[in-house]
Amino acid sequence: MALTREQMAQRVAQELADGYYVNLGIGIPTLVANYVPDDIDVMLQSENGLLGMGEFPTEEELDADLINAGKQTVTMATGASIFSSAESFAMIRGGHVDLTVLGAFEVDVNGNIASYMIPGKLIKGMGGAMDLVAGADNIIVTMTHASKHGESKLLSNCSLPLTGKNCIKKVLTDLAYLEIKEGKFHLLEYAPGVSIEQIQSLTEGELVISDNVREMKIA
């Protein structure tokens, strides 16, 4: 069974460690915040200039001057700091964020990622995504393994305009957790009830089955 969005977020959350500064993109990545293990503490970086993003505000706490990068009203966690956009991206570009989680349309065997534009159809802009993928060492891309029409999103070569080149090493899809290295996708984990054959058939780029491949554990 393909993972739900919530399950994908749960699996990503297992990659968190105590003391991590984390940037979560819009969509599934945002949900990761709901599954931080009880025994660890992470701080969420929001690229509009907030380190230590808290939960949504109550009606009483609502403040137009306090939003996240998704433009949602938020609160500050204890120990938060506020800074300018230039400082925020100094943090991101300078590699100070420990983990970045973001969505994509496509990734390929060379770690290229396309996530911001479908020519002629969708031009929302890249926002901070190009800086995030260029600045982070540790990135997890979350997306469905294939489109609704069964077209693989794990490719030999991205077909859409790139957000970043040679920068993605880990991908979590609704079917699998994969590592990208040496020009191949390495299957590390398959979702419960999903067969390796099914993953193989939906992975257009070269796929290697890791020696240690195992079934994904979702709490």
Partner 1 sequence: MSGFNKVVTSYQAAMAGLTDNMTVIAGGFGLCGIPENLIEEIKRKGTKGLTIVSNNCGVDDFGLGRLLSDHQIAKIVASYVGENAEFERQMMSGELEVELTPQGTLAEKMRAGGAGIPAFYTATGYGTPVGEGKEQRSFNGRDYILEESIRGDFAIVKAWKADTYGNLVYRKTARNFNPMAATAGKITVAEVEEIVEPGMLDPDQIHTPGIYVDRVIQGTFEKRIEQRTVRASL
Nearer to partner 1, 58 or 212 (CB): 58
Residues 176-205 that bind partner 1 (CB under 8 A): none
Residues 17-36 that bind partner 1 (CB under 8 A): 17-21
Interface with partner 1: number of residues (CB under 8 A): 75
170 strand-pairing partners:
140, 179
Whether the Cβ atoms of residue 101 and residue 29 lie closer than 8 Å to each other: yes
164 binds partner 1, rule: CB under 8 A: yes
The phi, psi pair for 93, rounded to 5°, reads -65, -35
Active-site annotation holder among 6, 15, 47, 106: 47
CA distance 138 to 170: 8
1 binds partner 1, rule: CB under 8 A: no
Whether the Cβ atoms of residue 178 and residue 212 lie closer than 8 Å to each other: no
Looking from the CA of 118 toward its CB, the CA atoms found within 13 Å total 5
Looking from the CA of 54 toward its CB, the CA atoms found within 13 Å total 16
What are the b/e assignments for 21-31, b being 16+ CB within 10 Å? Answer: bbbbbeebbbb
81 binds partner 1, rule: CB under 8 A: yes
* Stretch of 99-107, 160-168, 186-194, 197-205 contacting partner 1, by CB under 8 A: 160-168
Among 70, 156, 196, 218, binds partner 1 (CB under 8 A): 70
CB of 27 vs partner 1, minimal distance in Å:
14
15 binds partner 1, rule: CB under 8 A: no
92 binds partner 1, rule: CB under 8 A: yes
173 binds partner 1, rule: CB under 8 A: no
47 is catalytic: yes
- Catalytic residue set: 47
